[in-house]
Amino acid sequence: MINTDDFYQLIEARKSIRKFKSTEPPKEKMDRILNAALHAPSGKNRQNWRFFVVRGPKRDEYLKYSQKSWNGIKDVLKVRLKPSLYEFTERFFYTLGDAPIIVFAYSHNSEDEKYLTSVGSVYMAAQNINLACVAEGLGCCTMGAPLEIKKEVDEFLGLTNLPDYRDGKLELLFAIAIGYPDHNPPKAPREIAGRITWIE
């Protein structure tokens, strides 16, 4: 029996981490986290998520792409963020906060499923990853910035020659930086007003 209080505490403990220790988590931890993703619900049970886990020298190679992706979002963030947080976020994109593992998440789209259902299924798997990281004592940050350079990321991962990619079925949705947290940032307050409507 799952303890109800523990479950809700786990959810409330989740927050985005942007500064990590360089120590790579053991593979068994990562296997459990990725297995949690595979237990998410999906439209028509297609389980259409595809995950590409980047670590080691390949992770270091990705930094130049991360820096390039920053250019696509920096103007929007400059308006939304306080100057100190903006500078911190910029540093994150130049170093990925020293996160040792980056998981790139793709949707395997199909004509027999609605597009938004396929995409939504992968995002449900992302939430499982986020919560599993908290349970494993790790932190993570889900990033949409790789979409700013989607084609370059596809090429970086070596996907462009795959038959499914050439057929337009593989689509990058986001990346998740994962590692041991090296800071404890405050969690952004949750907005309540206007978010939930009961209809009877």
What residues form DSSP beta bridges with 102? 54, 177
What residues form DSSP beta bridges with 179? 139
Query: Is residue 34 packed enough to be buried (19+ CB in 10 Å), middle (13-18) or exposed (0-12)?
Result: middle
User: Can you give the pLDDT at residue 188?
Assistant: 86
User: Can you give the pLDDT at residue 106?
Assistant: 98
The CATH H-level superfamily of 16-179 is NADH Oxidase (3.40.109.10)
Task: State both tokens at 168.
Answer: 């337009």
Per-residue pLDDT of the chain (200 residues; tens, 9 = 90+): 789 999 999 999 999 999 999 999 999 999 999 999 999 999 999 999 999 999 999 999 999 999 999 999 999 999 999 998 899 999 999 999 999 999 999 999 999 999 999 999 999 999 999 999 999 999 999 999 999 999 999 999 999 999 999 999 999 999 999 999 999 999 889 999 999 999 99
User: Can you give the pLDDT at residue 1?
Assistant: 78
What residues form DSSP beta bridges with 139? 179
Q: Give the whole-angstrom CA distance, residue 137 versus residue 139.
A: 7
Identify residue 176 by its one-letter amino acid code: I
Domains in the chain: boundaries: 16-179
User: Can you give the pLDDT at residue 77?
Assistant: 93
